[in-house]
Structure 1
Amino acid sequence: MEKNKVKQIHDYGQSIWLDFIDRQIIKSGDLQRLIDEDGVRGVTSNPAIFEKAINSSDDYQEDMIRLAKETSDLEVLFYQMAILDIRNAADLFQQVFNEEVKGADGYVSLEVSPRLARDTNGTIAQAVELWKEVDRENVMIKIPGTAEGLEAIRHSIEEGINVNVTLLFGLDRYRAVTEAYISGLEARLAKGQPLEHIASVASFFLSRIDVLIDPLLEEKGLKEYQGEVAIASAKMAYQIYKEIFSSERWEKLRAAGAKPQRLLWASTSSKNPAFKATKYVDALIGPDTVDTVPMETIIAYREEGSPSLSLEQDLDKAQTILTKVKDAGIDFDLVTAKLEEEGIEKFINPYNKLIQTIENHLK
């Protein structure tokens, strides 16, 4: 019998995390089956996922009514409900977290409010609060990799909080994120505090890059590169990762027990129906990386996936693509800045809708 294709990905050193959570998938045993049968090794969540879960189920109604008696702040109420889900999922993944290399995987991510994406101090305060409230060693707090988020990332790492850096699109910002991570660890080490338990990922959003840049490529006569820029950028990011996390500076932290901040591929479902559903997953399989995928992509990969060690294949082609984009006059910095703004809005809008949904349920 052929081994499950999703599970095969882990043979190449990459971890698959599910980009979805709700109470039903936990209670029904479906999440446990994904761990056992597909080798799923973590979970990520975001406001859109919680909005869908709460709006399409009665599973939260009882908690909403109970918590509304304790607080009139609907954001506080939401996070109290979300924390229950995150704790339950984290407990389920404790078995993965406790594997031979403790803390290699088994993480569940909870995001700070998207309304704080441009608020450094607000992000710091909520990251600390959520970390304490969830009270699970295998949780990551998601902080956007905006300019304002960099200090929040550094501070959170210094405080010993696991961080999932989200909303990354460009290579320069990725370098800045690794600097925030390393600086946070160095500050912690200088205070004589342990590093062994701290984990972090840097999440690159892929398909959204191609959605925005593909029409520009057609205008510039570069249609043959449609659907390839995000993959090329991710491959170059991995080269930066290898450079930074093999440096002399990093080796001092490694010797003190620090773990590298893994790259995570997000937004890996194909937005263009002309592309294979497993396109972004197949193209970026490599050691010490994570791919967070929605349920539909896991289902598609079971049938259509082609797992292989692909992340470092065709690096010259990847560099050529990025060079051609630049030479064509496409300003990738402007593209990634626009993607960041759109990304923030795409989280704020469902978050606002989520709060409105809770209010409507309580009327």
Structure 2
Amino acid sequence: MLPTQTLHEAGQSLWLDYISRELLESGRLAHYIRDLAVSGLTSNPTLFDQAIRKGHDYDASIAREAAGGLSPELLFFRVALEDLTRAAALFRSIHERTRGQDGWVSLEVSPVLAFQQPELTVEQATMLYAEAGLPNLFIKIPGTPAGLRAIEESIFAGVPINVTLLFSTEQYLAAADAYMRGLERRLEAGLSPEVRSVASLFISRWDKAVEGQVPESLRNRLGIAVGERTYRVYRELLESARVRRLLSEGAPVQTLLWASTGTKDPSAPDTLYVEALAAPDTINTIPEKTLLAFADHGRVGPLLSHEEWESDEVLEEFKTAGVEVEGLATQLQHEGAESFVKSWMGLMASIARKSEEVRAGQLGV
């Protein structure tokens, strides 16, 4: 049995953090689902920007949609949903077999909205989910302070949400609270609480942020420690009276998801974060390169337990070394949101440029 399959059998879902038209048309995604136990997929503006800017796979779709005079933003969502609709179809049987727990794909709202009024995010999330018409589509909303209200309102509106850009236990708890408030409001309104969500905790960016600033003994340990601590709180939350009440009413659990689990340090094992964060009842969304590395030479050792912990001691060592974890979490979330905005603006510029080429008759399709 391949390590990816062993991890799946242990209770952790593996999602691919990558999408492109070539991935779909080559049959690689179908292969990963069939042979590597991949059971979901996430996308973000950076992935689409790279695929559209560096190749020609999207030229025909852009040309077709540009002829309708759509704005770059609406044109992008139309093109992205073409890919995600095909991917969602590949995961549909998993989604149905697991009764909605697995088999999801994700599409992100405009990251520009992460700093704006939550009403705009809710409006776009609702529009995208309705237009897609896919039962296994998550809409990604950043768990920024402005995003939390949008998450609650979107859940209340019945839109499945992937809460992204979470970096700390405290940010995770705030996202979980927003999700539960949305469900509780649905129950009060006589609506079904069966609206799903995942909470995406970013891992590797922690270690990149403190690289060269802490003793060698702490190298590449901060992201894992934050993940372990958050997993403990996640398991404790599942046992809380509030969650038990929601479950008794038919609500699903908001699943903890590990994001940004590709190794950024070339001197570290390329499967570092996947092996360290093997945990039941979680999801790990990993880059294609990391997926292939783990399938080839990964190892599934002891699973994370919510009863035995070293994370508190490790985090205390970082504090002694001068790292203020919660302040750094706020900084990382802000920088992550800014990075997504930068990618989004680059993506809009690429689409606008190709649209102009269509109008000028310069885009060969």
Q: TM-score by structure 2 length?
A: 0.94
Establish whether residue 135 from structure 1 lines up as the match of residue 133 from structure 2. yes
Q: Partner letter of residue 339 of structure 1?
A: L
Structure 1 residue ranges, 4+ long, deviating more than 3 angstroms after superposition = 313-316
Q: 2:347 maps to what in 1? A: 354
Number of residue pairs matched? 355
Q: Give RMSD over aligned pairs.
A: 1.4
Establish whether residue 295 from structure 1 lines up as the match of residue 302 from structure 2. no
Q: 2:35 maps to what in 1? A: 37
Aligned partner of residue 15 in structure 1, secondary structure: strand
Aligned partner of residue 215 in structure 1, secondary structure: coil
Q: 1:122 maps to what in 2? A: 120
Q: Partner letter of residue 94 of structure 2?
A: V
Q: 2:322 maps to what in 1? A: 329
1:89 and 1:177 map into 2 onto residues whose CA distance is: 27
2:13 and 2:313 map into 1 onto residues whose CA distance is: 28
1:41 and 1:26 map into 2 onto residues whose CA distance is: 15
Establish whether residue 17 from structure 1 lines up as the match of residue 15 from structure 2. yes
Which of residues 75, 81, 84 is equivalent to 1:83?
81
Q: 1:281 maps to what in 2? A: 274
Which of residues 181, 202, 219 is equivalent to 1:205?
202
Given that residues 9 and 308 in structure 1 are in contact (C-alpha distance below 8 angstroms), is that contact kept between their aligned partners in structure 2? no
2:282 and 2:299 map into 1 onto residues whose CA distance is: 17
Aligned partner of residue 49 in structure 2, secondary structure: helix
Q: 1:5 maps to what in 2? A: 3
Write out aligned runs for 1:199-348 (5 A): 199-217=196-214, 222-312=215-305, 315-348=308-341
1:316 and 1:360 map into 2 onto residues whose CA distance is: 52
Q: Partner letter of residue 39 of structure 2?
A: R
Aligned partner of residue 316 in structure 1, secondary structure: coil
Given that residues 207 and 271 in structure 1 are in contact (C-alpha distance below 8 angstroms), is that contact kept between their aligned partners in structure 2? yes
CA offset at residue 183 of structure 1?
A: 0.7
CA offset at residue 315 of structure 1?
A: 4.2
> Which runs of 5 or more residues in structure 1 are unaligned?
none
Post-superposition CA distance 1:293-349 (Å, at most 9, x none): 011001111222001343228943211011222234321122112111221122112
Given that residues 218 and 318 in structure 2 are in contact (C-alpha distance below 8 angstroms), is that contact kept between their aligned partners in structure 1? no
Q: 2:58 maps to what in 1? A: 60
CA offset at residue 206 of structure 1?
A: 0.5
Instruction: Report the CA distance shift for 1:323/1:315 in structure 2 as closer, same or farther (over 3 A).
Output: farther
Given that residues 12 and 308 in structure 1 are in contact (C-alpha distance below 8 angstroms), is that contact kept between their aligned partners in structure 2? no
> Which runs of 5 or more residues in structure 2 are unaligned?
358-365
1:28 and 1:296 map into 2 onto residues whose CA distance is: 16
2:307 and 2:192 map into 1 onto residues whose CA distance is: 39
1:72 and 1:134 map into 2 onto residues whose CA distance is: 17
Q: Partner letter of residue 356 of structure 1?
A: A
Given that residues 107 and 140 in structure 1 are in contact (C-alpha distance below 8 angstroms), is that contact kept between their aligned partners in structure 2? yes
Instruction: Report the CA distance shift for 1:155/1:309 in structure 2 as closer, same or farther (over 3 A).
Output: farther
Post-superposition CA distance 1:39-94 (Å, at most 9, x none): 10000000011111212332211121111121241111111111111111111110
Establish whether residue 110 from structure 1 lines up as the match of residue 107 from structure 2. yes
Q: Partner letter of residue 5 of structure 1?
A: P
2:16 and 2:94 map into 1 onto residues whose CA distance is: 14
Given that residues 156 and 185 in structure 2 are in contact (C-alpha distance below 8 angstroms), is that contact kept between their aligned partners in structure 1? yes
Post-superposition CA distance 1:216-257 (Å, at most 9, x none): 31xxxx320111111011111011111111111111110111
1:53 and 1:163 map into 2 onto residues whose CA distance is: 24
Aligned partner of residue 216 in structure 1, secondary structure: coil
Q: TM-score by structure 1 length?
A: 0.95
2:326 and 2:89 map into 1 onto residues whose CA distance is: 40
Q: Share of identical aligned residues, percent?
A: 38
Given that residues 280 and 303 in structure 2 are in contact (C-alpha distance below 8 angstroms), is that contact kept between their aligned partners in structure 1? no
